[in-house]
Amino acid sequence: MKKGQSQIKTEKTEKEKRVKTPVPAQLPLQIPIPPVNLMIASLLLVFLGIASIISLLLTPPTGFDLKNVPGFLNIVAIAALPLACGIWLQKKWAFYGTLILVVPLILIYPILVAFSPHFGIEYCLISFLTVIVVGPTALPILIRNDRYGDGDGYAGVVREAKLQKVIEKIPVFNALFVIFGIALIIRAVLPYATVFKDTVKFASDDAVFHMRLVENALFGEHFPRALFFDVFTNFPYGTTLHFAPLFGQLMIHTTWIIGLGSPTRELMEAVGAYTPAILGALVVFPVYILGKELYNKYAGLIAAVLVATLPGQFLSRSILGFTDHHVAEVLIISIFMAFLILALKRGKAELSLSGGTGTGTGTWVKNKNFAFLCYAGLIVLLFYIVSWYWWVFYSFILFLLASFIFTFWKRPDSYVLYPVLAGMALGFYLLAWFAGLIFVFIIFVYGVIQYTVNGLRGEPNEYLCITLIPVFLVPLLMILPFFGDPFPYDIKHIGALGVGVITFSIPLLYRYLTTIRLKDFFAKYSELNKLVRYEFLLPVFTVFVFFIIAIAVFPEVLGAFRVLTPDETALTVGEVHPMDSERAWAWFGTTFYIALIAMVILAVNIVKRNRPEELLLLVWSILCFVIVGGLGTFGIEGIGQNRFAYYYVINVAILTGLFSVTVFGFLTGIGTGTGTGTGTGTGTGTGTGSAGNEVKRDLRSSANARSGKSMNKNKSKKGGKSRRDESRPDFDLRLISFAIATMVIAVIGLIRVGIESLIPLGVIAAIFLGWMHASNIRREDIEKPLSKTLAVLLIMVFVFYPFPLNALATPFPSVTNLPLNTVHAIGTAERGIGAEPNWYEALWWMRDNTPDPGVNFWGLYELPPINETTGRREAFDYPAEAYGVMSWWDYGHMITWVAHRIPNANPFQQGIGGPIETDRPGAAAFFITTDVNAANEMADTLGVRYVMTGFMMADIWNSLHGKYGAMTVWAGDPVRFNTLAHYYHTMIAGLHMFDGAGANVDGVSVSPLNRYRLVHESSTFILPMAIIDVETGRILHWSHIAGDYAMTAEQAEILHGHLFSMDAREEIVADLNNEIIPEMLKDGFNAVGMPLSERSFVMRVGMAGDRWIINDEIRRIVFNVDKDKEAGVLNVRRFGVEIPGQPNIRAWTPEYIRPTSFVKTFEFVEGARIEGTAPDGSLIEISTEIMTNQGRTFTYTLDTTAVDGSFKFIVPYSTEGPIEGGTNFAVSVSPYIIRVGEVDPDDGIVVWDVEKEVRVPEEAVMDGKTIRVDFV
């Protein structure tokens, strides 16, 4: 009898038995009691239905628009109540109905919540939480139930194998989609208010420039072509752009498709803002596949959760508004690695050129492979035929669809499908980031190591070569059309990929020659066969040869590695520094160290068994650890950049998944499932089919042996309960491990969480004791679930530290009850992209109130020709009315994108000038110089019309986040330039701190600037303040106060410590110079309620006789007394203000530091010439009162001495205007007052004899016209 007939007969017999068995009579109202698991599922559905009713009452639908979708979903979800009844009664229709109801809710709700702020959707949090908790919990219970469905069991409900497989995958898919939804909500909802405020704010630097390119392509009448030469930056030269084409084209075409061919700016900004959040959330899917294929689905789910919730570089680069290519890199490279691991796993089983499975080269183009090869070939071929700006986007979409299409239609052999898809993924990765050769290097290094290891183990290498050749060849073919101008791809890319193709083709060629073409030759000279044993060294030899060639011919290929050893100027960028332990903890928490432990576990596994995918993970992880600067955590500095942590997050997540399943398997005695790797079944330790099953059994055997469990279990019938074998090991390692882990987390809980951790710790301790008791009495049915539960809880504490120990911490419920990494992630997301609103405010003003530069912002500009003499590209020929905006290079792209103006310097680190750029004029040289004439000359050379300064550029104290130190590095002499003596005379201090109006800094005069006028300042003001240790008088650090002008000005008066002023009488000054405290000065202190103690002393500062310090030793207060010669008064100030709760700490701000606007805009003008006559040797002063757009006033004053009876001033402010076509400046200027006087020789006070009022028209300031004012 056939096996199928026997199975059918058995099923019929079982049904007959059920029909013939008499059913006991039941009372009419008796309700059947289902199994416990179905009871739980029913109650969960009831909870869902009740929650939907409550949510419906709280937020009923009021219409039929998008905002009311949650209300209608609540109505639909009420169907959970009758379904719960059906589940209770074990009805088939209830099973299918639950699937049809719950799965769409799980898919819809996360998306709905993620986009709710943008579309104004009002949802009820109760419904959302209920769906994402009930759905992923209830469905696995139903699907795994073996006693369900009118007594037919689960197999009776789902008899078709394909449908059964689909349904069995639903729980994992639901869990993954919930993780995806959480990742998207973190990235899109939490930072929403910081991005969509007034207008859409994008992250500075490259994000805004990506949007510049998208905007230009969509609205520049040349869709979808993008710029490769931009005239709206690096004035007066323009610049060739180095951006890879894919990321921009994704946004360009997506916006165009959603807008049905007529996109709006609002749609473009929304697509651009959400792109990084969506791409970042999508990473959870390939990361899950990586974890699952490497180990099992649990490792994949843990990795997906971590990559969704870890803070750090990946999260900050994948949140709303951070529209840069980094997130696309991570998504594509994770897809690439997933395909590569699938290719390697199938390779050992399916590839053999020398027999084995019989899949020779002739079968590559067999029917089922032919369709896919044509599909992939067409994608690559059309790069050579169709214009890149059309094909890049659509080829990427076809690539993403390929794995789905050829899974369900004419599925090709894995050794064809996955290597080609991996190669295409690597190609698209390079088209997303042209500098991504680092991953080409990683795969190359892995391939050489794996080939060598296989050779040493005596294992075949053909599968490795045939897998890796397409991985290098396909991307090479994909980027060849982009080689050379205007694209950024050059010999480095062609050479790196070409070396990969050649390196792994040579062994195949060698094998072909030795076994086929030259077989007879080798048979004749048998001694040559000895060389075959060293065949595994071919890739190493090839690498050595290419290395020598590269050094001699293509040094730029090796130069690509210089990015890993940044120089001093590169280190001025925070993200370029290697990662230190502080960053590692903040970005990864405990998982950073768990990943290191997992690498050790991985290395041990590799020694035991040769799984190529595990070696790939180890090589990938080690190299990423080095690239990210991880060696810096061990004190090895100078290697790597911390920004690459957005790559390393994938490795950390997967390695933590490995650690978790390994520890779980050890603690519970259950195999981790890592034996599902591929192999030929020849005893290599990895295999599919029977070989794979053997590995699973071996793993379980070893795990059981470690725990002292016999593989031959005897089940006692006593009491109907299962019992373990009586034999027990003398040394129970599991017990010791559980005990130590429990004690460790108890210490962690009490130290990190406190007394609030006692309840979770009590639960864990109870489970531990229960497990011990069950183990002692040999109750395996109790011991197993308790050991699993205890293992999960212990692993959770370390992986999701300190959760669940803080689950009940106060305030409850709040974010404090979440894992520490999640708390950090929420904080990062809520802070948003860091777009500074003051810069947007200033740049919006500039866009609306400054002359158009005369260059088409939407134009598509061709590359200027190459100069045959210099070999460099010519500068763009700008129109006469074009001008530049000088600022630090950090803000260049913001100036382009927001203001539609042309910066002189940009984040491509162009236009910086100084010794780094062979002493060319630029931003660093301009702002750091103390020579005003040199600065003016640079401004004239670079066509500067406006200068924009930010507080951080002037923040030498680093009270907020100073950029001044970086400017000094670029300027070439940070030691000299970083001194206050130099700083106060620099252009940046003169402009931003002193408004170009000059100042008196501790008796040293800072000269006014006569060709720069303030035209606008932003609304937020900053006041730096020093935090001082009273005991030592040492400045501990600098901080700041931020707010509007009125508030910061009030705080400045307090921090300046002004107490009172009094006439500077000669006798008082004389006493002070003799270090005697005058009685009149003591009376002044008494009058303000701060009498001096008997132990108060005065000391003169400097030799000018105009500054003194009074030190009250008993009260530990210091007072500054300074003489204002012009006003003839003494000003008395307290040095430092007490900080509440810190009696030994004072806050203080020097008198000359005033509240300053966060962003100031100055105009560089010719200046009006005011000339005239005056008595020879007389003192001439010209001044005007300036009121800014924020209501702040200051006086602009110049003075000179008449020489030969004449004087001359250059003034930057006009008292009339603005004029048509000029700057619509936002300041008001009073008429100038020119006065003539002389110094009284007796008291040194200036006596003014005569004054005149002068009005200066705008034309005079702009054209340098002369206005005469004669006093003689």
Residues 430 and 553 in one domain: yes
- Four-residue CA torsion sign, 560, 563, 564, 569: positive
Check whether residue 990 and residue 1035 sit in a common domain: no
Whether residue 960 sits in one domain with residue 1004: yes
End position of a domain, from candidates 1120, 1135, 1156: 1156
**How large is the average pLDDT for residues 1000-1017?**
93
Q: What is the mean pLDDT of residues 485-505?
A: 90
Q: Are residues 936 and 988 in the same domain?
A: yes
In this predicted model, what pLDDT tens digit does every residue of 945-960 receive, in sequence order?
A: 999 999 999 999 999 8
pLDDT band per the 50, 70, 90 thresholds, residue 982: very high
Judge if 355 and 220 occupy the same domain: no
576 vs 969: CA distance, rounded Å: 15
Domain boundary residue, one of 949, 983, 1017: 1017
Note the pLDDT of residue 705.
Answer: 40
> Do both 788 and 900 map to the same domain?
no
The rounded Cα 526 to chain-centroid distance in angstroms is 60
Assess whether pLDDT exceeds 60 at residue 399.
Answer: yes
CB 825 within 8 A of CB 310: yes
Query: Could you report the per-residue pLDDT of 329-369, keeping only the tens digit for each?
Result: 999 999 999 999 999 988 777 765 444 444 444 555 556 78
Domain shared by 995 and 1038, yes or no? no
- β-strands 1096-1100, 1058-1063: how paired? unpaired
Q: What was the pLDDT predicted at 873?
A: 82
Which domain CATH number covers 992?
A: 3.40.50.12610
Least Cα distance to 909 among 939, 888, 937 occurs for 888
Label residue 151 by pLDDT band (50, 70, 90).
very low
Helix (H/G/I), strand (E/B), else coil: 862: coil
pLDDT of residue 10: 47
| Extended beta strands in 143-295, E state | 196-197, 199-200, 229-230, 239-240
Least confident of 531-535, 709-713, 844-848, 1111-1115: 709-713
Let me know how many helices (H) and strands (E) the chain has, helices first. 47, 28
DSSP assignment string, 674-705: GGG---BSSSSS-BSHHHHHHHHHHHHHHHHH
pLDDT at position 1012 over 70: yes
pLDDT at residue 31, rounded to an integer:
66
**749 in any annotated domain:** yes
Bridge partner list, 196 = 200
Q: Report pLDDT for 1159.
A: 98
* Predicted local distance difference test score (pLDDT) of residue 363: 54
In a domain, 147, yes or no: yes
CA atoms within a 13 Å half-sphere pointing along the CA-CB vector of 592: 23
Mean confidence (pLDDT) of the chain: 86
Statement to judge: residues 1114 and 1034 lie in one domain: yes
Residues 694-700, mean pLDDT to the nearest whole number: 38
Residue 1085 corresponds to which tokens in the numbers above?
A: 């202190």
Q: How sure is the predictor about 703, in pLDDT bands with cuts at 50, 70 and 90?
A: very low
What confidence score (pLDDT) does residue 122 get? 85
Q: Which residues contact 1036 (CB under 8 A, 6 or more apart)?
A: 1027, 1028, 1029, 1145
Q: Is the pLDDT of residue 1245 over 90?
A: no
For residue 868, the 8-state DSSP code is: T
Q: Per the domain annotation, does 624 fall within a domain? A: no
H-type alpha helices, 1018-1065? 1045-1056
- Asked whether residue 667 is assigned to any structural domain, the reply reads no
3-state helix, strand, coil in the chain (%, to 5): 55, 15, 30
Beta-strand pair 1096-1100/1179-1187: unpaired
Q: Are 992 and 950 in contact (CB under 8 A)?
A: yes
Residue 679 and residue 740 in one domain: no
Q: Are residues 796 and 844 in the same domain?
A: no
One-letter amino acid for residue 424 of the chain: M
Q: Is residue 770 part of a domain?
A: yes
User: From CA 544, how far away is CA 532, in angstroms rounded?
Assistant: 19
Tell me what pLDDT residue 679 has. Answer: 40
Interstrand relation of 1058-1063 and 1206-1211 (parallel, antiparallel or unpaired): unpaired
Residue 540 token pair: 């190493």
Q: Residue 1259: is its pLDDT beyond 60? A: yes
Kindly report, residue by residue over 1137-1146, the tens digit of the pLDDT.
887 778 788 8
Determine the pLDDT at residue 256.
96
540 vs 1158, more confident: 1158
Looking at 150-159, 232-241, 808-817, 927-936, which range is the least confident one? 150-159
Asked if residue 744 belongs to a domain, the reply is yes
Q: What is the mean pLDDT of residues 228-238?
A: 94
* pLDDT at site 632: 83
pLDDT tier at 939 (50, 70, 90 boundaries)? Answer: very high
* 696 has pLDDT over 60: no
Q: What contacts 24+ positions apart, CB below 8 Å, involve 749-753?
A: 749/797, 749/802, 749/805, 752/801, 752/802, 752/805, 752/806, 753/802, 753/805, 753/806, 753/809
pLDDT band at 267 (very low <50, low <70, confident <90, very high): very high
Asked if pLDDT for residue 27 goes beyond 90, the answer is no
- Which comes out higher in pLDDT, residue 505 or 534? 505
Q: Percentage of residues in the chain with pLDDT exceeding 90?
A: 52
Mean pLDDT value of segment 862-881: 86
The DSSP result for 751-797, as a single string, is III-GGGHHHHHHHHHHHHHHHHHHHTTBHHHHHHHHHHHHHHHHHH
For residues 684 and 747, membership in a common domain is answered with: no
| Confidence at 710, pLDDT banded by 50, 70, 90 | very low
Is residue 194 pLDDT above 70, yes or no?
Answer: yes
850 plus 976 within the same structural domain: yes
Query: Domain ends where: 171, 189, 207?
Result: 189
Domain holding 1253: CATH number? 2.60.40.3390
Domain limits at 699?
Answer: 673-710
**Looking at the 3D structure of the chain, how many domains does it have?**
7
Give pLDDT, residue 268.
97
- Say how many Å lie between the first and final Cα of the chain, rounded: 131
Q: Between 530 and 1003, where is the model more confident? A: 1003
Residue 992 predicted with pLDDT over 50:
yes
In a domain, 957, yes or no: yes
Q: Are 708 and 687 in contact (CB under 8 A)?
A: no
Q: Name which residue leads in pLDDT, 960 or 283.
A: 283
The Cα–Cα gap between 1068 and 1130 comes to 9
Which of 642, 521, 647, 659 shows the shortest CA–CA distance to 579? Answer: 642
d(CA 439, CA 429): 9
Residue 752 is predicted with a pLDDT of 86
Per-residue confidence (pLDDT) for residue 2, from 0 to 100:
46
For residue 359, the model assigns a pLDDT of: 46
Q: Which two tokens stand for residue 964?
A: 């001044």
Measure the CA dihedral 54/55/61/65, to 10°. -160
Whether 684 shows a pLDDT value over 50: the answer reads no
Q: Is 876 contained in some domain?
A: yes
Name which of 81-85, 674-678, 725-729, 1268-1272 the model is least confident about. 674-678
Query: Which amino acid does the sequence have at 983?
Result: Y
Given a cut of 60, whether residue 729 has pLDDT beyond it is no
